[in-house]
Amino acid sequence: MMNNVPAHDPAGWRNVPATSKPIDPAKAKKLLAAEWKKFSATTAKSAKHNKVASKVLPLGVTSSFQHWDPYPISIASAEGAYFTDVDGRKLLDMSMGFGAMLVGHLNPLVVKNVKEALDKTGTLFVTPSPTATEVAERFKKRFGIDMLRFTNSGTESTMYAIRVARAVTKKKAIIKIEGGYHGGYDPLQVSVKPALADIGPAEAPIADAPFDAVPGDVYVVPYNDLPYLEKIMKEHGDDIACFMVEPVVENLSIILPDKGYLAGARKLCDKYKIALIFDEVKTGLTAGVAGASKRVGVTPDLITLAKSIGGGLPVAAFGGKKKYMDAVVDGRMAHFGTYNGNPLAMAAMMAVDDLCTPQALASAETINMAALAKMDAIIAKYELPAHTIGFGVKGAIIWSPTPVRNYRDFKNTDFLMAELSWLWGINRGVITPPGLDEQWLVSLAHTSADMDKLVTEFEDLAQALRS
């Protein structure tokens, strides 16, 4: 316990300074206004591109996550840890496709395997193929699961995992975490970063569904709250098929599980005959060689994988225990998909499996931990009301002097500072993901010198804030 805050799972990194001094909001606003001016002055071609793109693509982007006001930066090419934008600037990519580019842009082995598939194998068979079987065997072994099926996106994987859980438990309702994001399936649209005004008190969150979704029965629980999870299971367990959770929440910056939270959730799911689904779309190989489940020592019934497993190709998977995957075998849950297991995606996954050795991931994690420690020193030196958080090869600065354990804590962080810090980085050649949660990824292509760029621009910001 630190200031009455429970300890986090020991696999994660969190360093909250004992003291800090507030930031003058007027100063932060002034700096932010200057940074937006600088942004406009240096990104003329991105502005122009967005105007053209907006005529054909809503918001000028291919996924609404990519958009920000007044316009996002358009990228012409990427290699290793770097982007080149349409204005010709070289930018350090710290977002790396939200984790999908874990092995680096245009990783030579991914390129080699995919080229070979293009030259010799084919692009699609829609029949069984030894390559898909070999990749399935490798990932089954890696993640310690009995069976898996490939899909083309995290959205498909989370949808099918829920449907498997329903088919096996013969129950339909689901439980999800307040604020959590799991892709586009209707029940998972409930309470995704909802407005606080719409969701009632923290002790009894109200499920908030957008008008366009038909979610069915969805119970929303705060992360890291076992008593409330048990209350919901006790009251509605006879109707609940599954509890879907990111083992480490990586869509609200990074929120670590309290020590014992996931093991407790496992026990409750067993008690109330509810499937435990770990959505490892974001954690996956970024959390370690066998994902976050292995790292925290808790085995879910089903897992969903995407992003980091595919070297940038559109590939994902769901899988887990035989008892559950048997529902696909006997047709209780029908799983189809024209592009599932296509040879190009399989070639990339084979490369990712070869590349993501324990040594390679450990070395990226060491670089991450060293960067987090340097960020800690800056936070301490300038007495910033912020702290560091990390898991595996991901890290973040949280603009809060106290730990964040759930969505309501996350909403309490300083979004003005998050915006300033994000834009400050962009204007100095370092891109972290849009969405103001400042999560970075150390890919296999990042070096300590690359991470020092992130650290240096962060110190420049600290200096500007305190000058």
Ligand X SMILES: Cc1ncc(COP(=O)(O)O)c(C=O)c1O
Which residue ranges make up the site for ligand X (CB under 6 A)?
A: 98, 153-155, 158, 181-183, 246, 251, 279, 281-282, 306, 316
SS3 annotation, 272-305: CCCEEEEEECCCHHHCCCCHHHHHHCCCCCEEEE
Residue closer to ligand X (CB basis): 246 or 437: 246
Q: How far is the CB of 70 from ligand X (least distance, A)?
A: 24
For residue 463, give the H/E element and its range.
helix 448-466
Q: Which residues contact 158 (CB under 8 A, 6 or more apart)?
A: 182, 183, 185, 188, 244, 277, 279, 281, 304, 318
Q: How far is the CB of 29 from ligand X (least distance, A)?
A: 30
Q: How far is the CB of 389 from ligand X (least distance, A)?
A: 17
Residue closer to ligand X (CB basis): 16 or 436: 436
For residue 184, give the H/E element and its range.
none
Residue closer to ligand X (CB basis): 131 or 251: 251
Q: How far is the CB of 64 from ligand X (least distance, A)?
A: 11
Beta bridge partners of 105: 80
Q: Which residues contact 362 (CB under 8 A, 6 or more apart)?
A: none
Cα–Cα distance, 188 to 351 (Å, whole number):
31
Greatest distance between any 2 Cα atoms in the chain? 67
Residue closer to ligand X (CB basis): 410 or 458: 410
Q: How far is the CB of 282 from ligand X (least distance, A)?
A: 4
Residue closer to ligand X (CB basis): 131 or 158: 158
Q: How far is the CB of 279 from ligand X (least distance, A)?
A: 5
Residue closer to ligand X (CB basis): 163 or 374: 163
Q: Which residues contact 437 (CB under 8 A, 6 or more apart)?
A: 251, 252, 253, 254, 396, 418
For residue 200, give the H/E element and its range.
none
Query: Is residue 428 within 8 Å of 41, Cβ to Cβ?
Result: no
Q: How far is the CB of 435 from ligand X (least distance, A)?
A: 10
> How many residues comprise the chain?
467
Residue closer to ligand X (CB basis): 9 or 457: 9
Q: How far is the CB of 243 from ligand X (least distance, A)?
A: 14
3-state helix, strand, coil in the chain (%, to 5): 45, 15, 40
3 state DSSP class of 77: strand
Q: Label residue 48 left, alpha or beta by phi (over 0 means left) and psi (-120 to 50 means alpha).
A: alpha
Q: Which residues contact 227 (CB under 8 A, 6 or more apart)?
A: none
Residue closer to ligand X (CB basis): 156 or 353: 156
Q: How far is the CB of 411 from ligand X (least distance, A)?
A: 18
Beta bridge partners of 75: 85
Residue closer to ligand X (CB basis): 19 or 64: 64
Residue closer to ligand X (CB basis): 306 or 436: 306
Q: How far is the CB of 121 from ligand X (least distance, A)?
A: 24
Query: Is residue 189 within 8 Å of 215, Cβ to Cβ?
Result: yes
